[in-house]
Every structure is written in C-alpha cells, then in structure tokens.
Structure 1
Amino acid sequence: MLLPVTDDNRLQSPRRVRELGVVVGTLPTGPLNAITDVPGVRVGQTTITGDGVNTGVTAIVPDGWEATLPAAVAVGNGYGKLIGTTQVDELGVIETPILLTGTLSTFRVADAFVSWLLDRDPRATSLNPVVGETNDGHLSDIRRRPITPAHVHAALDTASATLPQEGCAGAGTGTAALGFKAGIGTASRALTDGTVGVLVQANFSGVLTVLGRQVPAEPIDSDGNSCMIVVATDLPLDSRQLGRLARRAIFAMARVGSDYAPGSGDYAIAFTTSRTPSYADRDLRTPFQALTESVEEALLNSLTMARTTTGFQNHTAHAVPHDRISRQHQPADGRSSGRSAT
C-alpha cells in the first residue's frame, strides 16, 4: 500500500535516524557520526533557494590533497557526470577536493573550481578537478544554472570539521529519493585502527526500506536521477583496496531500497588520508562492514533530516513522516532496534 503523504510533514523537525530509534548495524560510530570524524576531512556547503531554485554546492576537502591522496572510483550505472574519473582510475589518486552539485551546473562548478585552484598555485599548468552531480530538476529550475564562482569558492573556503548540515543543504537542496525529499546525509564508523566516514547526495528511485521494512510512497521520478557517495578513511589502504570499498558503497544502496533504475547515475569515490598503504586484504572484512553500515545510515539521514520542499513549477517533495519510521522500528519496551550488517 502506498503511503499517504500530507502537509502535516511540514510541521516535523528534521531528526537523524538514530533519534527515531533506528540503529543501523553493530559497529560504533565516530563522535559526530559523520564523514568529518575522519581526521583531516572537512566539508563546506553553499545552499541556494528561492524563485524556483533549490540547489547548491557541497565540498569535501581533505587535508593534504595538494600532494595527492590515494583514491578510487566505482561506477554502478554510468548515466551521470563525474568529472575527473579517468585520471583517478589511471593514477589511483585525487589531487583536488571533491565537489558535488546539480547536473547542469557541473561544468560551471568545475570551471570555478579550477579558478580557485589556480589562485592557490600560480605555477600550476594541469589540474584534475573531481566534480559529481545528481539531477535536482524536479524542484529546481535546472536550466538556469544559477551557481556562480562565488558559491563554489564559499563552499571551499568555509569547509570545516564540524557536523555537516544534512537534508536540504548544499548539493542536496533540491534532491529527492525513494519517493520522499532527501538531500545530503552522512555517517561514520570508528574502528580500532581508524575511521570510515561517508557523505551521500541522495536522489534515486525505489521503495524506502528501513532495517528491512518498506515505507512505500508514490514515486517522484521513475527515471532514478542518481546517487553520489563519497567515502573517506584514514586506514592505510591502496587505491585497489579503496576501489573495493567504493564498489561496496554502491551495493549498500540496495539496503535502503534502491531499484538501480537505468536512468540513475550511481557513483562512489573513496579516498584515504594515509599515504603509507599497509593493509592486508584479509583484514578488510571489518572496514567493509563499517562502510556498508555508514552508507546505509547516511542515506537514511539524508531523508529524515530533509524538510518538505515546494520548488520549480510548484512541484513538491514531501519529507518522510517520522512517525512511520519510529513506530515501525521502536519495540514496545522502548529499546532501539538494530540489525547486524555482517
């Protein structure tokens, strides 16, 4: 049965999924339960709203990017724009921060990004900006391409190690997923030897599934419209091992109900702040679990932290009703439910 959605959802306050009694997996989170729990990783965002526009920029800025960091990209479905992937594949490193935005603004963001980079290094003659996107055209006048260099530079210059704003923020301002308003989400897991953190830009189709239980809704866009997943860690992994993490990030979308529609561009990019790879493949089991749990929780946070939004041509994406999630997943004795991610 499809979930009836009403304007009452406008009255609820954004809450992270753990506040609704939903605990994903068994591993402990970092202090913020965010990608910024990875030491040296910062996030900055610029949000643009009004006059039919709901879009923005999200920047993931790791310390030490100027000297390159090990990285890898995984493509679940290549119906999208992720600028800079071929060089990441070829060399196994990123040499810039990672930016996310709306589809038709990808190229403006990349150009403004290059200007910001050139200003920092007057001797540079070659740069490989990494810019990803999802299509926010349902809620934003995407053809206007409203993002300016000032928006891009502000996201980069204000990046901090605090908890990133989730839901209707930055590149997630106009996105929707699984029949509801979505946006930016983040989560992390703390391991004995490091941290795994993720940030997602959620904008894909399917039936919302929370710890195995469906919360169905009318689809907003049957074409899919994509998901970007950024994975950060300080574990000493090489680019091949980071590729294994990135692929599993895309696998984890299925846990929340993605149908991997043919019109969806599903991408993950993983990097580490460590430059001394020393991890054995046989020891990747727990990092894989940490990654899967973090992606699942970040995607759920992208939904429960979003607000009902009316935008371009009076289109509306409703926030997921929190009571439907908390009521279905909170046992009678009041303890939080959970599920192992092994």
Structure 2
Amino acid sequence: MLKQKRIRDYHVQVGEMGTGPRNMITDVEGVTVGHVTLSDGDVQTGVTAVLPHQGNLFQEKVIASSHVINGFGKTMGTIQLNELGTIETPIVLTNTLSVGTAAEALIEEMLDQNPEIGRTTGTVNPIVGECNDMFLNDIRKRAVQKEHVIEALRNTTVDVKEGSVGSGRGMLCYGLKGGFGTASRVMELEHGTYTIGVLVVANFGNLADLTINSKKVGRTLVERLSNHEDEKDKGSIMIVVATDLPVSERQLNRILKRTVTGLARTGSIVSNGSGDVVIGFSTATRIPHEKPASPLTVQTIHEEDMDSAFRAVGEATEEAVLNVLATAEHVTGRDGNERPAFKDLIEEFDIELV
C-alpha cells in the first residue's frame, strides 16, 4: 500500500508538541483500529471499530467518559458510560441509520467472548457513534450489515488508513470530501511520558470557514471555484480520544471538552445542525468486572498537569481534521452527487498552505 500524503507532507506543522511515532491514535499502546469500506455506486459508507486494548474489554474495563459539544447526534451507550466512568466494549462508528445494526453486531461479539453475560452477570453496554452520510450514500438502503461490523472488529491494526475509508467513506468536510483522520501528541511530564491520540470522522463545515494554521485557505478555494455554492452546515463530527495518561473519569471529561479548541482552529463554528460528540478512554487503569476483595487503586495526575493534556488533545484534534482533508479522495455516490478532494484542488490551483 502506497504511503498516504498527510497534512505534514504539505509542510503544515500543527501546534507545538511532538507526535507519537505514527502520529495516530494507535500510538497509545494497545489501541487498534479497523475499517470496512462499502463502495458500490450509490452505496458509499462503512464501519470503523476502535479497540482500547487487546484483552477482554468486558472483563477488564477502562476509565472512560464522553462529552457533547453539540447534541444533534444519535450515539448509543454514553449514558451508562458517563454514569459509571468506564467502557466495556469496543467503539463502533458508522452512518446514522446503521447504529442499530452496529449495536446488534457489537452485542453478538461481546456475547461470544463472554458467555456469562445475561446468565451469571448483567448485560453489556455497546458504544456506537454516527454521522449522516446521506449526500453521497443512499442511507435508506442500510447497506451496513452485521458481518461488516464484525469484520471491522476482528481486523484491527496499528497502521490505520485515513481519508475516504470505513465510516468516513461517505462523509463531507468543509464542503469537500471528508472522512476519517487521526493524529497524536506526546506529553513529557515529571513522572513519565504519555500519549494522547485522537481520531475523527469529519462530516461538518462550510468551505469559506476552512482555516489552516490561521490561513483562510477556504476563502481562497471559494474564490477559485467558479461553480461552488456554500450550503448550510448540517454535518457532524465523531471524535474518539485515547490516552495512557492516568486520569479519573472527571479529569478525562475535562480533557475531552478541549477537543473543541482544535475544531475551532480549523474553522468550525459548531453549527446548530451538527452532532459533535467526543468519546474518550484512558488505558492507564483496568477495572475488573468482578468485584475484588480489596479496594481498587486508581492513579491520577495532579490538576497542575492538566494543561499539557489540554494542549495535546486540541492539537491532535486539529491535525486529525486536517489529515482527513489531506487524505480524502474524490467520491461520486447517490444520484451522481460528488465532492472534490482537497488534495486535488490545492494542486489544481497551486495553493500554498504555509
């Protein structure tokens, strides 16, 4: 597979902090991501699965939280996630009308792994997020099937493809082709070195608002595109944050809230019709499903360390969105609808990003 050209390959350096070796969410040890992409005429959609660790997640839960930036979205499982502060299944991302199918498949996978669910212990809380890909994808066909979800869950990797793949296949971003992107940041603290990784499924924004390192690139593109018509932003973004930083669910929630700073730096206004949802987890502590005989010990950083995490998650979110644009490919889908690729336009119009 040819190496994808990401935003840094255009000499754009986002923020001040260093990245992990891949500059992906999978720089957090144990985290893997899997895609299944469906591309056939008016079907342009897919599934993305995120595994927080490679063990039995139901038996060894991890600290987790979620945050709603704007609530025009249809996630599943975040009520219990926020109540208990843990996650016990992988995270599945897909299109809006496939949330039920994704949840059913995820439940089946967890039942296969854990025969005690619904017998000697309680049920399971599947985590599913979505964006609406109906412009390019005939969403009414509900093309995503359970086998696609299970394939994504069972074929995850640390080397993640970005752009018009998986759950990002039919998405739009700043009026151009959107999709899946990821980035990471490394924090050097007195007590250790830690990583924050972010992935996004970007399906939001008006082209005129697109900003790259404070440069109004979107306005330039609007001027060059003679047939461009700015539409009302009714899109969404799903953000997944992973870290090995030892935090409580309260601290993690504070970190998740700062993803909006990265969105804003790319030009997002978090519009009325946008479902902007963040789900995050920390792999630093595993919480056993079965109650141990002694109290649990959960290490957490001091609040004075939080600013490093705030900066890291904002920078990684910003770069993940820009990586979506840099890697997404032109797609034609439902009723001949299409969206151009950012990388094609900047080459066509010889636009400098720095």
TM-score, normalisation: structure 1: 0.89
Judged with a 3 Å threshold, the aligned counterparts in structure 2 of structure 1 residues 322 and 287 are, in CA distance, closer, same or farther, namely same
CA contact (8 A) 2:52 2:281 kept: no
Does residue 42 in structure 1 map to residue 35 in structure 2?
no
CA distance in 2, matches of 1:78, 1:325: 37
Q: 1:138 aligns with which of 135, 138, 147?
A: 135
Q: More deviation in 277-286 or 94-103? A: 277-286
Matches within 5 A, 1:229-308: 229-275=239-285, 276-308=298-330
Q: CA 1:200 to 1:326, structure 2 compared with 1: closer, same or farther past 3 Å?
A: farther
Q: Where does structure 2 lack aligned partners over 5 or more consecutive residues?
A: 223-227, 286-297
Instruction: Write out per-residue CA displacement over residues 65-98 of structure 1, whole angstroms, 9 at most, x where no aligned residue.
Output: 2311101101011111110010011001111111
2:45 maps to 1:55: yes
Q: Which is worse superposed, 105-114 or 250-259?
A: 250-259
Work out whether residues 20 and 326 of structure 1, in 8 Å CA contact, stay in contact via their aligned partners in 2: no
TM-aligned CA distance change 1:70 to 1:325, over 3 Å = farther
- Is 1:95 aligned to residue 88 of structure 2? yes
**Equivalent pair of 2:68/2:276 in contact (CA under 8 Å):** yes
How far off its partner does 1:14 sit? 5.3
- 1:90/1:219 Cα in 2 relative to 1: closer, same or farther (>3 Å)? farther
Deviation of the 1:328 alpha carbon: 2.9
Counterparts of 1:274 and 1:220 in 2: how far apart (Å)?
Answer: 44
After superposition, give the CA deviation of every residue in 1:176-229 in whole Å (9 maximum; x if it has no partner).
111110100000012222100000000012321100112224466524221000
Q: What secondary structure, in the 3-state scheme, does the structure 1 residue paired with 2:284 have?
A: coil
Asked if the contact 1:44/1:158 (under 8 Å) is kept, the reply is: yes
Q: Which runs of 4+ in 1 moved over 6 A?
A: none
3-state secondary structure, aligned to 2:151? helix
Tell me the residue number matched to 1:328.
Answer: 352
Partner letter of residue 188 of structure 1? S
Q: Does 1:148 align with 2:145?
A: yes
Structure 1 SS opposite 2:135: coil
SS at match of 2:33: strand
- Residue 81 (structure 2) pairs with residue 84 (structure 1): no
Does the CA contact (< 8 Å) of 2:135 and 2:337 recur in 1? yes
Q: After TM superposition, list the pairs within 5 Å mapping 1:138-217 onto structure 2.
A: 138-162=135-159, 164-192=160-188, 193-206=193-206, 207-216=209-218, 217=222
| Residue 100 (structure 2) pairs with residue 107 (structure 1) | yes
Instruction: State whether structure 2 residue 301 is matched by structure 1 residue 311.
Output: no
Contact 1:200–1:229 under 8 Å retained in 2: yes
Q: How many residue pairs get matched?
A: 317
Q: CA RMSD in A?
A: 1.6
CA distance in 2, matches of 1:245, 1:324: 39
Which blocks of at least 5 consecutive residues in structure 1 are unaligned? 1-12, 331-342
What SS does structure 2 have at the residue aligned with 1:123?
coil
Greater CA drift, 321-330 or 34-43 = 321-330
Equivalent position SS for 1:68 = strand
Greater Cα radius of gyration, structure 1 or 2: 2
Deviation at 1:123, TM superposition (A): 1.2
The residue matched to 1:188 in structure 2 has which SS?
Answer: strand
- Asked whether the equivalents of residues 196 and 234 of structure 1 are also in contact (C-alpha less than 8 Å), the reply is yes
- Deviation of 1:325 after TM superposition, in Å, equals 9.6
1:327 is displaced (CA, Å) by 4.1
Question: Percent of aligned positions with the same letter in both sequences?
Answer: 42
Distance 1:230 1:220, change over 3 A: farther
Could you state the TM-score of these two structures normalised by the residue count of structure 2?
Answer: 0.86
Among 66, 70, 88, the alignment partner of 1:73 is 66
Partners of 2:41 and 2:9 lie apart in 1 by: 33
Q: Is the 8 A contact 2:63 2:283 kept in 1?
A: yes
C-alpha distance in 1 between matches for 2:149 and 2:257: 28
Aligned to 2:292: none
